[in-house]
Amino acid sequence: MLQTLFTCLALASVTLTAPSNPPSYTKNSQTDKQKFDNIAGVLGVAVAPVNDNSIYNNKKYNGFSLVESLAPATNGVPGVIPQSDPNFIAFGPGDLQTILQGDPAITLDFTDSETVAYDLLSFFFGCALGTEENVSSEPVNCTFTLTGYGPPPLNQKKGDASFFFSPNNGMSVDMVPAVLPASFRGLYRTTFEVKSPAGALVAGLVDNVENAVYTK
C-alpha cells in the first residue's frame, strides 16, 4: 500500500475584540479525544448520524455523518486513510446529514447538555470526491475553514482558522493534522466549511478531534 506524504499549512485569523482566555471554570476541565471508533458506522458510505441525536461525548456533531472506512491502513483500498481505524466523520454540500441537519458544527446547543464550554485543540482531516462520501474515492485538494463562537446570548466570534489538504497524486493517502490557535478556547460552537476545486462533489473528512471540556 502506498501512502503519500503531504504538506498541511495553516493560517489563523483572530477577532481582536474577542477574549481568547478560557472561562473561569477551567478547574473542571478534562482533555478528551474523539476517535469515533466505539460506535457503529455504515461501511464505506456517509449516511448515518454521529451516534444517537448526533451527540457524542457531550458534544453535538451537527451536520456530520459517521463512516466506517473501506480504506484503513491495513487493507490498501484507495481513499483517505482514517487516523484511527475504522471510523471517521464526514460532511460536505452533498452529505446526507449536512443536508438534513444544516451547517456542520460542533455545538453544545442540545437538551440536557452537561458541558458548558470546550477548547478545540486539534484534529486530523482530509478530503475526497463523493456526494455521499465513499472512502474508496479519489483524494482531492481542499480548504477547511473553522469559526469558533462563545456561549449565548452574545455568541461572540472568537476566531477563524484555515487548513489546507494537498495530496500528492496518491490514491491511498493519510489524513493530516490541524492544530487550532489559542483563540479556540471557551467555545460553545465551532462551524466547519470545506471548499475544493471539486466543488459540490467534495467531502470533508475528520478524525481524532482533541478538546478540553468544561462541565457544570
Amino acid code (one letter) for 182: A
Predicted local distance difference test score (pLDDT) of residue 91? 93
pLDDT > 80? residue 80:
yes
pTM: 0.84
User: In sequence order, what are the residues at sequence separation of 6 or more whose Cβ sits closer than 8 angstroms to the Cβ of residue 91?
Assistant: 63, 64, 65, 97, 98, 104, 192, 194, 203, 204, 206
161 pairs with which residues across the strands?
12, 146
If one compares 35 and 28, the residue with the highest pLDDT of the two is 35
Q: Tell me the average pLDDT across 180-185.
A: 97
Question: What Cα–Cα distance (Å) separates residue 150 from each residue in 2, 182, 208?
Answer: 42, 13, 22
The Cα–Cα gap between 192 and 169 comes to 25
Do 170 and 162 meet the contact criterion of CB atoms below 8 Å apart? Answer: no
Predicted local distance difference test score (pLDDT) of residue 72? 60
pLDDT digits (tens, 9 = 90+) for 87-146: 899 999 888 899 999 999 999 999 989 899 999 999 999 999 875 545 457 899 999 999
pLDDT > 70? residue 1:
no
pLDDT digits (tens, 9 = 90+) for 32-64: 899 999 887 666 566 678 887 899 988 999 999
Amino acid code (one letter) for 111: T
Q: How many CA atoms lie within 13 A of 182 on its CB side?
A: 6
Q: Comparing C-alpha atoms, which of 149, 190, 180 is closest to residue 63? A: 190
Q: Which CATH superfamily is domain 28-215 in?
A: Protein of unknown function DUF4465 (2.60.120.1350)
Predicted local distance difference test score (pLDDT) of residue 25? 54
Domain boundaries, the chain: 28-215
First to last CA, the chain: 47
Predicted local distance difference test score (pLDDT) of residue 19? 46
Predicted local distance difference test score (pLDDT) of residue 55? 92
